[in-house]
Structure 1
Amino acid sequence: MRHLALLALIAATPASAGVPEALDEVILPGFAGFAEAATALSVAASADCTPESLRAPWNAAFDAWTQIGDIRIGPSETGALGVAFWPDVRGFTPRTLGNLIKTEAEVGTDPAAYAEVSIAGRGLFALERMFYDADFSGYEADSYSCTLVQTMTAELAAQAGALDAGWEGFSKVLLSAGEEGNTLYLSEGEAMDVLYTQALSGLEFSDVARLGNPLGSFERPRPTRAEAWRSERSLRNVLLTADASVALAHAVGGMPLPVTDAALDRLHELAERVSDPSFQDIEDPSARLRVEIVQQQVNAIGEAIKGELGAALGLTAGFNSQDGD
């Protein structure tokens, strides 16, 4: 029965085609799914805090996040930062965690208080350090680090729940675009444009950051700047976020997108040729080339969406909050 009241509002609201579908088919189920997965991770941590026990539910939570993590409007514009603080080129996350563990800070035992900790010490990437980084993952079940992990997972579940609830409210703003009193979206077309922008933004972020950061330059590749490389999720995140972008494009457009679908299928085919899913072998020219080809195909999906969806509906991509990363 979840979202029943909102679905009734969708049916009764004369919103532009695509906005209700994007909310009902992609965005709202995505945030609800992430909240469910984050809660499951927290419950698992309360029973067994060790990395070996929590890697599977952590990966499930990360998978759920990829479905909506690149949407950065409404409550997600700032709320996503505490869930996924990355890139961390200055190493704030290990320093924050290291200081907490060294001092056995009391804040690490209280999920409510932990919400005030720097975003570098919170969310999925901080937990990746605790589960996969040898400098942090060797803790015992009765240690401060164990309690810290339980606190971190509980706080992540709280963040996920807050985002889910926030989107329940913000969805009404999107649905009422152009109506009197809506000062954020002055026309139905503006709501469509912003959702179209979100469909493209994940692909752009994958191009520039998820793939561009580790590729660096031919003379100076930077494999340890790959997203979630310790857990070997780097390639998986590229694929899942591409899937999510195309799903949102379909929901926004409500029309066949055969070129886009073919480009996505081709991305998955090319990804099978990548020899290391964490991109740690890209100093080898052959391995680098395979990742560069994946990057080119991510761009091809974006161009297909622009050509099939943007051109057909007259949509215009605007600024997204990840442009500065």
Structure 2
Amino acid sequence: MAAVRFVRSAWHVALAAAAVLWAAGPAAAFDHADVARRSLEEHIISSYQDFASRTQSLADATRSFCDARSEAGLAKARSAFKGAVIAWGRIGHIRFGPAVTDNRYDRILFWPDPRHVTMKQVGRLLRTKPEAALKPENVATASVATVGLRALEIVFFGPGSDDFASADKDKTHYRCGLALALSEDLHHTAAVIFEDWTSSDRFQQLWLHPGADNSRYLKPSETTQALVQSFADRLNRMLAFDIPSADGEASNGNGTMPIFGPSGVAIDFLSASLDGLEALLKEGGFLDQSASGSAEDTEDVQQRLNVVLTELRFARRALGLIAQSEARGDFKTIPVAMWKSVRLPVENAREIADETLKAEAGLSSGFNALDGD
């Protein structure tokens, strides 16, 4: 019950902050170019570099394990997988630009998956063992449901993985081949996204130089709009697809089983996602900007954003309590109140952040990506 009490306190704080109203005029003092640059240099590039590095470690660990099967080697490969998942959690909110080119985002994480397509298709590969599916050129053009982190989770932690470290290489030959092919493809996708963000002649050029001759961003405010929309969209998706609903009827089709439950990294992934959103606000410079040229408005915005950060931390604390509970290994036994203590502060953060960030930057309300375009 302690988890519920501290979240209720956060809710009262949020209500008090939300009760303060101001006229959200054009934010002339907001420096869109600074936010674009800082978000790129201090958040996007560093986070994608970490993700690319983690996926390289995963591919290397998988290759080493497959060359010499052992329980220790399997444990190292599984640990590297978890590291890649956590790294993706910290940057998965940047759902635009290089991340969505050529379906890269879905190739990294095909989710939601209410019909369990990944489980079915990857399971079929492991049963029928078509060698052609292991060739890099075929993996590169394979269905998004059969590649990426969730496909790898099934290979490493799904049915049949208990004897993955068997000395009988013939028995696990295909599983190893699929794990290696998928991990190498995942690293390639991560590396290409990172390169597109860091190369001055690629997406970085569009991001940093809005203008009439820019095919993506005509005005500096449009890059800020992309970041603000990404922040809200990630919270919306967490509530809709990632965090189990209190009644066990989550729209992801998995009931009370959150994403990455089979590998035991679900709580870490959700916590990393919240970490990434907090980092975007801090490293992107949103906490340092002025609002509509008024010192009073700026102070009000900063107070509201601090409430958002507090709510994100309350949600992480609630996740920590779940991680410490005996039910961590079986999410269906986690009390409803514990999931409520995660969802409520996330909902609060979403509502306050959406209004506040748009007012701070002088943005009009954009569409909700979950509603379609």
Give TM class, smaller chain. Answer: 0.7 to 0.9
Equivalent of residue 281 in structure 1, options 332, 339, 350? 332
Give the counterpart of 1:196 among 203, 225, 228: 228
Q: Could you tell me whether the CA contact under 8 Å between 1:213 and 1:225 is conserved in 2?
A: no
Match of 2:6 in 1: none
Equivalent residue, structure 2, for 1:9: none
Mapped partners of 1:56, 1:215: distance in 2: 32
Cα offset, 1:197, TM superposition: 0.9
How far apart are 1:17 and its partner, in Å? 2.5
Aligned equivalents of 2:268, 2:92: Cα separation in 1: 14
1:262 and 2:310 are equivalent in the alignment: yes
Q: Which residue of structure 1 lines up, in the alignment, with residue 189 of structure 2? A: 159
Contact in 2 for aligned 1:94/1:129 (Cα 8 Å)? yes
- Aligned match for 1:16, one of 25, 30, 33: 33
For the residue of structure 2 that corresponds to 1:88, the secondary structure is: coil
What CA RMSD, in Å, does the superposition of the two structures yield over aligned residues?
A: 2.5
Alpha-carbon contact 1:214-1:279 (below 8 Å) kept: no
Query: How far does residue 133 in structure 1 lie from its aligned partner after superposition?
Result: 1.5
Residues 246 and 200 of structure 1: is their aligned pair in 2 closer, same or farther, counting only changes over 3 Å? Answer: farther
Q: Which moved more, 1:75-84 or 1:305-314?
A: 305-314
Aligned to 2:269: 237
Aligned to 2:260: 228
* 1:97-137 per-position Cα deviation (integer Å, ceiling 9, x unaligned): 23322332123332232111211111111111111113445
Aligned to 1:10: none
Q: Is the aligned partner of 1:28 residue 2:45?
A: yes
Residue 295 of structure 1 corresponds to which residue in structure 2?
343
Q: Given that residues 130 and 137 in structure 1 are in contact (C-alpha distance below 8 angstroms), is that contact kept between their aligned partners in structure 2?
A: no
Call closer, same or farther: CA 1:128–1:137 in 2, change over 3 Å. Answer: farther
1:128 is matched with which residue?
A: 153
1:94 corresponding residue in structure 2: 119
| AA of the residue aligned to 1:88 | D
Once the two structures are superposed, residues 64-108 of structure 1 have per-residue CA deviations (whole angstroms, 9 ceiling, x without a partner) of 111111221112123110011122221221222233223321233
Which secondary structure does the structure 1 equivalent of 2:163 belong to?
A: coil
In structure 2, stretches of 5+ residues that fail to align are: 1-30, 289-301
User: CA distance change for structure 1 residues 264 and 187 in 2, over 3 Å: closer, same or farther?
Assistant: same
Name the residue aligned to 2:3.
none
**Aligned letter for 2:307?**
V
Q: Which residue number corresponds to residue 286 of structure 2? A: 253
1:71 to 85, 94, 97: 94
CA distance in 2, matches of 1:322, 1:69: 16
Aligned partner letter, 1:203? L
| 1:282-322 deviations in Å (ceiling 9; x for gaps) | 5x6xx112101210111122233235433222234534655
Contact 1:174/1:185 (CA < 8 Å) preserved in 2?
A: yes
Q: How many residues were matched structurally?
A: 305
Aligned-pair identity in percent equals 25
TM-score of the aligned structures, taking structure 1 as reference length:
0.84
Larger Rg, first or second structure (1 or 2): 2
Alpha-carbon distance between aligned partners in 1 of 2:254 and 2:144, rounded to the nearest angstrom:
24
1:310 and 1:316 in contact (8 A); partners too: yes
